[in-house]
Chain A
């Protein structure tokens, strides 16, 4: 219970930061102040909060859980590819969006696109698709909160209650503090979880009697040696994953965050240090996730390994429901928490738990971004701001924060998927497929609103199709995929144990490529915006 008390103290601290930010902003109830911290964030806060915004429950719980089941491939799949692609997109796209925001006062990506392509309701369609895709990301945070508090308290805090507490705390500081509060909390959290990785690896390493012995014994074991290589993962799958980080810059909360920098020079440190921050967080989490397989004295970990073994040996003959149940038992989302519980002293487990909570609670930015988008792209665009004034606009944003958090909480209680799968399959792939919108808006004079609409509709349909497909075709047991459609011996569409494969690639690859192609072809066939509009951007 002591670790849980430390985590509760941490939550109280986070809440205080949000309310302190609210006091700082009192008397300045302007939309730009609440939603963008008055475009005034300094270099330190900008770097750490932008990075923290991108690190969710997925970074710590998801990565160690994935590494527990799949081995070292997790780092190359998600971390190092992000370390290249994300700062590159911030460098190319983030800086341009910042400059346009400063020049023309944009507060959301849709505002910029409406102006760039001279469109109205198509912008609303883009808003709707962005909003639908962003909600799962928020759910991840709340689910992670429930899982973490439940594990840290040794089961005393039930999942539903833990998730409710996290939802309430996040909702409160976003409600009061807006972007300033969110950025400060994110900075605090990022510093915490940067420290977390180092401390966790030392404590658990010492507890396990050093990693050398663990690594050597894994290497000698036929059941575990493959986890130290990538032989279980197809190179196509590995390549596919490099498309996923394209989603980062297309996530509205990241792009909106790019608008908060006081000066463009603040992007420099962010771009340079981003890959190193990723390294500092992910390497310990992935390594610990893999090494957890050598822990023999934690019954929960042994139960997961047993479920994995049964799934691999008997999964083919089981009913889909039984397979799903085993898959849930084998999931390693809480494996790092179990390691802490086993090897860290009570007080330290609490501090480290707070570090995990810090990552888990990064859903604050998504909640604020959705609120900003709703009030700017819908409320203000359809005349609400003119009719009711800016004060009502800010209050509407706050109300939206409350409704959204409650909805996300309700879904988090019912969602059966693991944190990791939910994030990857829907939100990340969808936003990666929306990235051609930004590239076309900023780098191609010939792009049009109809190209943007085609890309957006395709993204929505593709995400929905993948979801329906995976719902209708049950996941096979570990091993060869279930081939649904083959042509001359070539597998075109398959259901894999972890998702869907299109010609061997993850769906994100065709989704992004077709998005880019639609933007290109449809734009070529349709009328361009006025020359004066294009001149504002090039």
Chain B
């Protein structure tokens, strides 16, 4: 998946967090007790997890891993 698509998905999710459309209403009460604004934000958390899965699957910085595996450990670091 192209990086730009992933960036746009993250930005879209950030915008979707500002759900002003449910600002002044509690209706409908989902399951009969949960105000819609709270239910929306709970669903947002699940969506965030899915987006993180996308990032980990399609944009994992594996070059860092291989640099560590193939590089010399603790080279030129602070005095130890």
Complex contact B38–A75 (CB within 8 A): yes
Contact check, B52 vs A115: say whether CB atoms are below 8 A apart: no
Please name all residues of chain A whose beta carbon is closer than 8 Å to the beta carbon of B38 when the two chains form the complex: 72, 75-76, 228, 283, 286-287
Select the residue from B61, B71, B74, B77 with max chain A CB neighbours within 10 A: B77
- A202 CB, min distance to chain B CBs, angstroms: 13
Q: How far apart sit A298 and B34, CA to CA, in the bound complex (Å)?
A: 23
Give every chain B residue within 8 A of A210 (Cβ-Cβ): 33
Which one of A76, A268, A279 has the highest number of Cβ atoms from chain B below 10 Å of its Cβ? A76
- Are B64 and A96 in touch, CB under 8 angstroms? yes
Q: Which of A75, A225, A235, A273 has the most CB of B within 10 A?
A: A75
Q: A104-B77, A105-B74, A242-B14 are in contact. Are A264 and B45 (CB under 8 A)?
A: no
Point out the residues of chain B lying under 8 angstroms from A264, CB to CB. Answer: 64-65, 68
> Is A99 part of the contact surface with B, judged by Cβ < 8 Å?
yes
- B residues within 8 A CB of A274? 49, 52
Name A386's closest neighbour in chain B (CB-CB). B79
Task: Please determine whether B17 and A242 come into contact, CB atoms closer than 8 angstroms.
Answer: yes
- State which of A41-49, A78-86, A307-315, A517-525 sits at the interface with chain B: A78-86
| Interface assignment of A239: CB less than 8 Å from any CB of chain B | yes
Please provide the chain B residues from 10 to 37 with a CB less than 8 Å away from any CB of chain A in the complex.
Answer: 10, 13-14, 17-20, 22-26, 29, 32-35, 37
Query: A513 at the A/B interface (Cβ < 8 Å)?
Result: no
Which of B26, B32, B34, B73 has most chain A Cβ within 10 Å? B26
Task: Judge whether A81 and B17 touch: CB under 8 Å.
Answer: yes
A219 touches B29 (CB 8 A): yes
Q: Give a binary string over A202-234; 1 marks a CB under 8 Å from any B CB, 0 the rest.
A: 000000001110111001000001001111000
| A235 adjacent to B23 (CB under 8 Å) | yes
Which of A18-26, A87-95, A347-355 has 4 or more CB atoms under 8 Å from chain B? A87-95
A208 vs B23: C-alpha distance when bound (angstroms): 27
Q: A75-125: which have CB < 8 Å to B?
A: 75-76, 79-81, 83-84, 87-88, 91, 95-96, 98-99, 102-106, 111, 114-115
Do the beta carbons of B79 and A225 come within 8 Å of each other? no
**A132-150 residues at the B interface, CB under 8 angstroms:** none
**What count of chain B residues pass the 8 Å CB interface test?**
47
Give the residues in chain A near B68, CB-CB below 8 Å: 99, 102-103, 264
Q: Select the residue from B19, B22, B33 with max chain A CB neighbours within 10 A.
A: B33
Whether the Cβ atoms of A275 and B48 lie closer than 8 Å is yes
- Cα A87 to Cα B19 in complex, Å, equals 21
Interface presence of A316 (CB below 8 A): no
Q: Quick check: is A278 within 8 A (CB to CB) of the other chain? A: yes
* Contact B29–A215 (Cβ < 8 Å): yes
Interface: A402 (CB within 8 A) = no
Among A83, A230, A265, A536, the residue within 8 A (CB) of B65 is: A265
- A276 beta carbon closer than 8 Å to chain B: yes
**Is B8 engaged at the interface, CB distance under 8 Å to the other chain?**
no
Taking CB atoms, residues of chain B closer than 8 Å to A84 are 10, 13-14, 17, 44, 48, 51
Cα distance, A83 to B14, chains bound together (Å):
11
Whether B56 contacts A103 by the Cβ 8 Å rule is no
10 pairs of residues in contact across A and B, judged by CB atoms under 8 Å: A80-B42, A88-B10, A88-B55, A95-B64, A103-B75, A111-B77, A230-B23, A235-B18, A264-B64, A273-B49
Q: Name 11 extra pairs, CB < 8 A, besides A264-B65, A268-B56.
A: A72-B41, A76-B19, A83-B48, A84-B10, A87-B52, A103-B75, A104-B75, A105-B73, A230-B37, A276-B45, A279-B45
Q: For the complex of A and B, list the 10 residue pairs with the smallest distance between their C-beta atoms, beginning with the closest.
A: A104-B77, A228-B26, A105-B74, A105-B77, A211-B33, A99-B64, A275-B48, A279-B45, A215-B33, A72-B38
Which residues of A line the B interface, CB within 8 A?
A: 72-73, 75-76, 79-81, 83-84, 87-88, 91, 95-96, 98-99, 102-106, 111, 114-115, 210-212, 214-216, 219, 225, 228-231, 235, 238-239, 242, 263-265, 268, 271-276, 278-279, 283, 286-287, 380-381, 385-386, 536
